[in-house]
């Protein structure tokens, strides 16, 4: 495939504003709102699952079954009710983030050491204040680890919404590229989607650093707390926090 | 308003029962069994290819500790790839066929398998390594007889995550005309038959549940009893 044939720069230059910029903005809007809605549902759900342990297994099964429904099918099924509005894309995508976010919020809260909780109680913190001022801040790294996976997955999945005409870079790929047998918009769509995902991922890392000032300036070995306190250096120096390591159950 | 929505919903769900019970749905080249098997075949091949690629790479980088950062970074970039875009790009490059579907699905399935295998091996307590070496094991023996069994719950978790994603995403195969359960979803949309879309989606969910069941069984069979439940504990 000749370079000229596969990627036509003059097409990109001519269409920077209309299809490219417009679709990129739609993509950003759809993914941001989906992730935000997902987080708004996952936080109380995760808190409940951490508080009432018996709720955890059925909740986990529920969000995992949701995750197995193909996104195209969900978009199409919502179309008769919500039409070609952003909600048609946002509702399914927000539901998908739950499979990653709910277990991470619950696990993050469950990892709060009991002596910390007791100290908060001893200082006179009520349940709500303890949750907001002590437990959730400690859970931030685990929650953000999940948020990073959910964000990257959502941004790449918004493209599917383009197949049913809901906008975003998927629509650029489909109507400007695929249907006209013209590769340039397809490449542009993929590249912008990947760039957006990696940018948001990086922004979340920065957000985590801003939200956990007590972790700065300490050796990363400190991050792999509680479970293996006496890990040898070398192997133990990996940067990961425990919940960051394994792929969440329904990731991607 | 709510009344109409409820009525449509009811009609929809009844339509699904009707759709499933029609005999022509169960025979012929585009009957449920043929489409189901197509879907299973695409998903199975894609998962096998991804595992063949990602498991050895994850074991090796996890064992030596070399190239791990690079592998994880690549996995993250792959995770950010929009499956549908990759599918269409490969179709434009190679034409309609199974190859584009495989490329897109493998790109989707490699990251979770690779990351879990790598982290699983890295997470093995170094004391076990020391003990195994003290008993005279060589590097690859340590890998196969100590690190692999201990990492197995996490590796299986990664494979299961990948399998469920692949099963749900293999529906896009229908968009490039090579069948699978996505056919019902795409045709249902084209013919404005919500029952058909719903039927196709339900079959995919059923397949995903079967996958979960298979991995639960695999975990029982392959994971040493003392290590069971570890994957969920670490997660």
CATH number of the domain encompassing residue A112: 1.10.3720.10
Q: Is residue A180 in a domain?
A: yes
The answer to whether the Cα torsion of A27, A33, A37, A42 is positive or negative is: positive
- Mean per-residue pLDDT for A10-28? 87
**What residue ranges do the domains of chain B occupy?**
30-230
pLDDT at A224 over 70: no
pLDDT at A1 over 60: no
Element housing A141 (H / E): helix A136-163
Out of A208-222, B102-116, B121-135, pick the least confident: A208-222
Element housing A118 (H / E): helix A114-122
List of chain B residues whose C-beta atoms are within 8 Å of the C-beta of residue A71? 168
Q: Is residue A139 in a domain?
A: yes
Angstroms from A183 CA to nearest CA on chain B: 7
Q: Is residue A249 in a domain?
A: no
pLDDT at A191 over 90: yes
Q: Is residue A239 in a domain?
A: no
Distance of CA A252 to CAs A10, A17, B111, Å? 34, 30, 9
A217 band by pLDDT with thresholds 50, 70 and 90: low
Q: Is residue A95 in a domain?
A: yes
A14 band by pLDDT with thresholds 50, 70 and 90: confident
pLDDT at A225 over 60: no
Look up the domain containing A201 and give its range.
19-215
CATH topology of domain B30-230: MetI-like fold (1.10.3720)
Q: Is residue A220 in a domain?
A: no
Give the number of domains in chain A.
Answer: 1
pLDDT at B8 over 80: no
Distance of CA A154 to CAs A149, A159, A214, B91, B128, Å? 8, 9, 30, 23, 39
Angstroms from A123 CA to nearest CA on chain B: 31
B21 band by pLDDT with thresholds 50, 70 and 90: confident
| Angstrom distance (rounded) from CA B79 to CA B172 | 17
pLDDT at B40 over 70: yes
Residue A246's pLDDT is 42
- From the list A69, A103, A162, the residue facing B204 with the nearest CB is A69
**Which of A224, A244, A226 lies closest to A234 in space, CA to CA?**
A224
Q: Is residue A169 in a domain?
A: yes
B90-100 pLDDT per residue, tens: 998 888 889 99
B14 band by pLDDT with thresholds 50, 70 and 90: low
Cα–Cα–Cα angle for B67, B101, A170, rounded to 5 degrees: 90
Residue A250's pLDDT is 38
Q: Which two tokens stand for residue B69?
A: 């950062």
- From the list B79, B182, B201, the residue facing A153 with the nearest CB is B79
Q: Is residue A34 in a domain?
A: yes
């Amino acid at each position: 495939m000749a370079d000229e044939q596969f990627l036509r720069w003059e097409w990109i230059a001519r269409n920077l504003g209309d299809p490219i910029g417009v679709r990129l903005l739609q993509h950003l809007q759809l993914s941001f709102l989906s992730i935000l809605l997902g987080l708004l549902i996952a936080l109380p759900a995760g808190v409940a699952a951490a508080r009432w342990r018996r709720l955890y297994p059925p909740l986990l099964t529920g969000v995992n079954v949701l995750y197995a429904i193909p996104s195209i099918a969900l978009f199409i099924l919502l179309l008769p009710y919500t039409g070609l509005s952003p909600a048609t894309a946002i509702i399914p995508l927000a539901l998908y983030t739950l499979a990653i976010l709910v277990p991470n919020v619950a696990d993050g809260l469950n990892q709060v050491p009991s002596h910390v909780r007791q100290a908060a109680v001893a200082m006179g913190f009520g349940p709500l204040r303890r949750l907001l001022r002590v437990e959730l801040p400690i859970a931030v790294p685990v929650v953000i680890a999940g948020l990073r996976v959910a964000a990257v997955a959502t941004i790449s999945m918004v493209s599917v919404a383009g197949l049913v005409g809901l906008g975003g870079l998927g629509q650029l790929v489909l109507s400007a590229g695929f249907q006209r047998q013209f590769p340039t918009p397809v490449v542009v769509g993929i590249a912008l989607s990947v760039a957006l995902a990696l940018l948001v991922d990086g922004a979340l890392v920065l957000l985590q650093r801003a939200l956990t000032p007590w972790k700065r300036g300490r050796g990363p070995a400190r991050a792999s707390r509680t479970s293996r306190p006496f890990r040898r250096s070398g192997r133990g120096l990996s940067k990961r926090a425990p919940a960051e390591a394994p792929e969440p159950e329904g990731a991607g | 308003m709510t009344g109409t929505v409820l009525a449509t919903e009811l009609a929809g769900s009844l339509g699904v029962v009707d759709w499933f019970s029609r005999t022509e749905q169960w025979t012929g080249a585009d009957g449920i069994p043929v489409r189901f098997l197509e879907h299973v075949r695409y998903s199975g091949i894609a998962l096998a290819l991804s595992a063949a690629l990602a498991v050895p790479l994850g074991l090796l980088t996890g064992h030596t500790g070399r190239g791990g950062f690079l592998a994880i970074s690549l996995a993250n970039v792959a995770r950010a790839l929009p499956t549908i875009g990759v599918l269409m790009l490969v179709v434009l490059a190679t034409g309609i066929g199974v190859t584009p579907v495989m490329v897109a699905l493998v790109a989707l399935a490699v990251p979770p398998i690779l990351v879990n295998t790598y982290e699983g091996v890295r997470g093995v307590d170094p004391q076990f390594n020391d003990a195994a070496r003290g008993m005279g094991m060589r590097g690859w023996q340590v890998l196969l007889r100590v690190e692999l069994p201990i990492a197995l719950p996490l590796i299986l978790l990664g494979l299961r995550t990948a399998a469920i994603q692949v099963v749900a995403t293999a529906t896009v195969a229908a968009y490039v005309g090579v069948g699978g359960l996505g056919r019902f979803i795409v045709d249902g949309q084209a013919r404005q038959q919500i029952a058909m879309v719903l039927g196709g989606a339900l079959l995919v969910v059923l397949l995903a549940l079967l996958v979960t069941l298979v991995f639960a069984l695999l975990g029982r069979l392959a994971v040493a009893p003392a290590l069971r439940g570890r994957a969920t504990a670490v997660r």
